[in-house]
Amino acid sequence: MYPIFGKVMAEWSTTTTTPLPPFVFHVHGHGGTDLHVIATDFHSNTFQAIKTRQKLEDLRDDIGIVGSWSEFVDYITTSLKSGDVKLIMEGLSESGGASCAKLLAQKAKGMPRISLSLGKLVDVAAREAMANLSLELYKELKEVQSSLTKEQESTYQLTKVVVAEQVFPLTAGVIFD
């Protein structure tokens, strides 16, 4: 699974007037079987979940997704990229903020909803998670920049070929003395 990044506005599970800052989430496969999920506001709320293959199989059964494993992974990926993603904050932590959260994603209205429970990280664990997320964002940015540079170079080369082909037919019938 390719890394997925997204911005999500968090909300409390209970009615509250306390506004929450935007969060960034990062979901990626790890070791071919685990799914790592991190959500952070880069301030006082950082949450994480590591879902093993068995836990993902249980999730698949719970929400009723049938088909192959790769179809299920595609469903998770599409749901997380859909834009219909929510982060629901729950409980109160001694360190401030929520004690846990749920990342909810839905591929389309009427389709099964993915729900990933996240535990709160504090102190060193939270700082490490934020640092890793920042580095992964940077790495993704560099990959996108590299792809863009390659695409621009290809476009430039194609433009040169097209221009050369447009000029050549004009001079093909001309005899120079």
From residue 84, alpha-carbon distances to 1, 14, 105, 109, 121 in Å are 19, 20, 6, 9, 25
CATH code at 30? 2.170.210.20
Q: Judge whether 165 lies within some domain.
A: no
- Split into its structural domains, the chain has a count of 1
Q: Which of 105, 1, 3, 89 shows the shortest CA–CA distance to 53?
A: 1
Q: Judge whether 70 lies within some domain.
A: yes
Q: Measured between alpha carbons, how far is 92 from 50 in angstroms, rounded to an integer?
A: 22
Q: Measured between alpha carbons, how far is 75 from 84 in angstroms, rounded to an integer?
A: 13
Q: Please list the pLDDT of the chain residue by residue as tens digits (177 residues).
A: 789 999 999 998 887 767 888 999 999 987 778 899 999 999 989 999 999 999 999 999 988 888 888 888 899 999 999 888 999 999 877 777 788 999 999 988 888 899 999 999 999 999 999 999 999 999 999 999 999 999 999 999 998 888 888 776 655 555 555
Residue with tokens 């998770």: 76
Q: Judge whether 40 lies within some domain.
A: yes
Q: Judge whether 150 lies within some domain.
A: no
Range of the structural domain that residue 24 is part of: 4-121
List, in order, residues 6 or more apart from 18 with CB less than 8 Å away: 12
